[in-house]
Amino acid sequence: MVVVVEHNATEKDIEGIIKVLHDFGFDVHRSTGVNQTVLGAIGVKPDFDTRQVELLPGVAHVYRITEPYKLASRSFKSEKTVIDVGGVKIGGDAIVVMAGPCSVENEKQIFTIAEHVAKAGAKFLRGGAYKPRTSPYAFQGLGEEGLKLMRKAADAFGLKVITEAMDGTQLDLIEQYTDVIQIGARNMQNYNFLRELGKASRPIMLKRGLSATFEEWLMSAEYILSSGNKNVMLCERGIRTFETATRNTMDISAIPVIHAKSHLPVIADPSHGIGIRDKVIPMARAAVAAGADGIIVEVHNDPDHAKSDGAQSLFPNQFEELMKQIRLIAEAIGRKVA
Ligand code: PEP
Ligand code: MN
C-alpha cells in the first residue's frame, strides 16, 4: 500500500500516520522528496480497509498495490487453471462450446437440440431446470424432471451437462445429473451459497453479476476457492449499462483483463451478453478473438415458441454457422475449437 502525504502536512502529521501504520502491523518505508513525502506500507492483509488510513490528517491518497483476492489471482498461481471435465479440458488450448436451450421444456425439445448441437461440435449441453426468472409468473423450469431429461439427452449424444443451481438445497440433487454447476448472475454475491459451492463435487461456472466489477467478481470466485473447490471458471454474460438498444452490454474487455488478473478459465455467453439473436454470432466471434476459453450459447429448435429467451436463441443452422466462424477465428489466433 502506498500512502501519499499532503503537500502541507506537518512533520507531526507524518509521524502520526507512520505510528498508525505501525500499529496496524505494517513495515513502513518513508521517502521524502522536495515537494512530496510518500510512505510505503508492507504487509497489508487482503481485508484491510484503506479508508482507515485515508481519513488520517495529512493523507492525500492511498493506493492498494496488492489485490484483495489471493487464490484467484495470477500472482498466487501464474499458470492457467485447466479444468478436466471427464476428458473435456476447459482453460487449455482448445475452446470448449456449450450449447442448448435456455430451459429444458420437454423430452422431444431437449433431444432434438442435443442431437443438433452435438453434431455441430458442441461438447456440453446447456439448459436450465431451475430458472431464475425476473417474474414469478414466468416459466420456472421443470425441476428434477428437467435434470433427468437433460442427462438422458446429453448421454445419448456424448455431451457433458451444465445446468444452474439456484441455492444450496438443490446441490445434492443437481450434482447427480450435471457435470458443471452454473451459478447465475443474480446469485454472484450470494455469499453463503458461494461457500456451500466450495464443498460441491462438481466444477463451478460463476457468471458475472449484472453490475459487478472485476474485483467483486473475483472476490466471489475467491469465496468458492477458499471454501475448498479449486475448479472454478468465470462467465462474462453482459452487464447493465446506460445503453438500452441491447439487453445487456457484452463486456468483451472482461476476457483479456480477467486473464491478466486471474488464472481461472473465462467463458463467454454472447446470448445473454447481447440478448438479440442476429447479434449473437458477431459477439461469439469477438469473444473468441479476445481469448475466451469457451462459449456458452442458447440454441433452440423452435425459438419462436421457446418458454424462455427465444428471442436470443439461435436456430440450429445458425449454430452451425457460429461453429464454422469461430473455428476460423480460433485458428487465426493459434487455438482450436475442441
Ligand atoms: C441462463 O443462462 O439462462 C441465465 C439465466 O443466465 P444469467 O444468470 O446470466 O442471467
Ligand atoms: Mn437464458
Q: What is the CATH number of the domain that holds 28?
A: 3.30.70.1140
Domain shared by 187 and 310, yes or no: yes
Which residue from 207, 240, 251 has its CB within 8 A of the most atoms of ligand 1, so it is best to mutate?
A: 207
Are 270 and 263 in contact by the 8 Å Cβ rule? The answer is: no
How many other β-carbons are positioned within 10 Å of the β-carbon of residue 33? Answer: 7
- Return the best residue to mutate from 126, 130, 269, 272 for the ligand 1 pocket (most ligand atoms within 8 A of CB): 272
pLDDT band for 330, please (50, 70, 90 cuts): very high
The strand pair at 59-63 and 83-85 is best described as: unpaired
7 and 95 share a domain?
no
pLDDT at 74 over 90: yes
Residue 78 lies in a domain: no
The whole-number average pLDDT for the span 23-49 is 89
Do both 263 and 212 map to the same domain? Answer: yes
Q: What angle do CA 291, 293, 296 make, to 5 degrees?
A: 115
Any idea which of 5-14, 34-43, 54-63, 289-298 has the lowest mean pLDDT? 34-43
pLDDT given at position 45 = 81
2-5 and 37-42 beta bridge pairing = antiparallel
CA of 330 to the centre of ligand 1 (A): 25
One domain for residues 183 and 321: yes
Q: Is residue 198, in this structure, part of any structural domain at all?
A: yes
> Tens digits of per-residue pLDDT, 83-100?
999 999 999 999 999 999
CB contact at 8 A, 81 and 108: no
Q: Are 128 and 103 in contact (CB under 8 A)?
A: yes
Q: What is the side-by-side strand order in the sheet with 59-63? A: 27-32, 37-42, 2-5, 59-63
Are 21 and 136 within one domain?
A: no
- In this structure, which residue's CA is closest to atom 4 in ligand 1? 184
What is d(CA 301, CA 309) in angstroms, rounded to the nearest whole number?
Answer: 13
| 143 and 30 part of one domain | no
Report the pLDDT value the prediction gives residue 46, as an integer from 0 to 100. 79
Mutual angle of helices 277-289 and 316-332, in 10-degree steps: 20
> Residue 55: its pLDDT value, please?
95
Ligand 1 binding residues, C-beta < 6 A: 102, 128, 132, 184-186, 207, 237, 272
Calculate how far, in angstroms, residue 31's C-alpha sits from the geometric centre of ligand 1. 50
Q: Which residue has the cell 453463503?
A: 192
pLDDT at 67: 87
pLDDT category at 47 given cuts 50, 70, 90 is: confident
Residue 256's φ and ψ, nearest 5 degrees, are -70, -30
For ligand 1, atom 3, which residue shows the shortest CA distance? 102
Paired with 239 in beta bridges are 249
CA 120/CA 295 separation, integer angstroms: 14
Q: Which residues of 251-262 are buried (b: 16+ CB within 10 A; e: fewer)?
A: bbebbeebbebb
Q: Closest ligand 1 atom to the C-alpha of 207?
A: 9
At 308, the pLDDT band (50, 70, 90 cuts) reads: very high
Confidence band of 323 (pLDDT split at 50, 70, 90):
very high
The boundaries of the domain holding residue 49 are 2-63
The answer to whether residues 28 and 120 belong to one domain is: no
75 in a structural domain: no
The number of domains in the chain is 2
pLDDT tens-digit series, residues 150-163:
999 999 999 999 99
Give the predicted TM-score (pTM) of the model. 0.92
Give me ligand 2 centre to Cα 272, in Å.
6
Q: Average pLDDT for residues 129-143, to the nearest whole number? A: 95
CB 83 within 8 A of CB 203: yes
- The grid cell for 183 is 451459478
Residue nearest to atom 1 of ligand 1 (CA): 102
Residue 38, beta-bridge partner list: 4, 31
Task: Give the model's pLDDT for residue 218.
Answer: 98
Pair type for strands 83-85 and 88-90: antiparallel
Atom 8 of ligand 1, nearest CA residue: 184
Looking up cell 509521524 gives 15
Among 63, 94, 110, give the residue marking a domain's end. Answer: 63
Domain with residue 150: its CATH number is 3.20.20.70
